[in-house]
Amino acid sequence: MMKLTLIRHAQSMGNSTGNYSHLQADALSATGREQARDLAVHLEPESFDKIIVSPLARTLETAVPYLEMTDQHAEIWPETAEMRWQKTHEPRAGDWRREICSIDADLPERFTFFENRKMKPAATPPESHEEQRCRLYIAKERVLNLQRQGYASVLFISHGIFVRELICALLDLPGALSFPTENCASHQLLYDEKEGWRVIFLNRLLAPASPVNQVGDKSE
């Protein structure tokens, strides 16, 4: 059995202004930094076998207070950077374009890249939806591998659309399932051998959210 907790990053500067940033290096706003601290307090009683984060700054900054509070490290999965919203599911590409990624020197040394792959999706020219879905299904298979390896509890901090699409992929839903994900809200799935994946809850608030954090299909 594996419990998968998926959390959208805290409020970024782009969220606070409505300037959706997608793959930009978007830092947390003052509200976001407060949310990240609140999130750490909410998560502190939990126990995770593995913590996974996106390579983008807003997810790293969201994770730092919890990692420092509990003296843990997180693994960066390059494939889990944000996706652009797409109404229909396109066939996935065979590969995705990358660019070099480094961790801001101001961040604590709490992160390692998966297999030392220091990369993130290339920002220009814009990714195709097929490339994005390639990344998504690589992440899905990697989550399934964690389940096969016996991980009991995994924390996954990423982005609104990516988290939603990963949930849909794990549940093998034929079309896009639309549901909101506020900053620092969590979703939880449980896997067991008899029932497969099932939803425990969606969009549960772990930290106070301001009105600008309400998201629809353009979250990032």
Q: What is the DSSP string of 107-176?
A: S-S-EEEGGG--EEE--SSPPPHHHHHHHHHHHHHHHHHHHHTT--EEEEEE-HHHHHHHHHHHTT-SSP
Output the six-digit token pair for 141.
């298979």
Phi, psi (deg, nearest 5) at residue 171: -85, 0
> pLDDT tens string for the chain (220 positions)?
999 999 999 999 888 887 766 566 688 999 999 999 999 999 999 999 999 999 999 999 999 999 999 999 999 999 999 988 776 677 889 999 999 999 988 898 999 999 999 999 998 888 899 999 999 999 999 999 999 999 999 999 999 999 999 999 999 987 666 778 899 999 999 999 899 999 999 999 864 544 444 343 345 5
> Quick one: three-class SS letters along 33-53?
HHHHHHHHHHHCCCCCCEEEE
Instruction: Given CATH 3.40.50.1240, say whether it is the number of domain 2-213.
Output: yes
Q: What is the reported pLDDT for 23? A: 63
Neighbours of 14 (CB within 10 A): 17
DSSP class of residue 2? E
CA–CA separation, 60 vs 207, rounded Å? 17
- Residue 70: Cβ-neighbour burial (10 angstroms; 0-12, 13-18, 19+): middle
Output the six-digit token pair for 193.
């051998």
Query: What is the C-alpha R_g of the chain?
Result: 16
DSSP class of residue 18? T
* pLDDT tens-digit series, residues 13-54: 888 887 766 566 688 999 999 999 999 999 999 999 999 999
Q: What is the reported pLDDT for 160? A: 92
pTM of this structure: 0.89
Amino acid at 33: R
74 touches 111 (CB < 8 A):
yes
C-alpha dist (Å) from residue 45 to 69, 70, 146, 177: 11, 9, 22, 31
C-alpha dist (Å) from residue 40 to 34, 36, 44, 62: 10, 6, 6, 9
> Where in the chain are the domains?
2-213
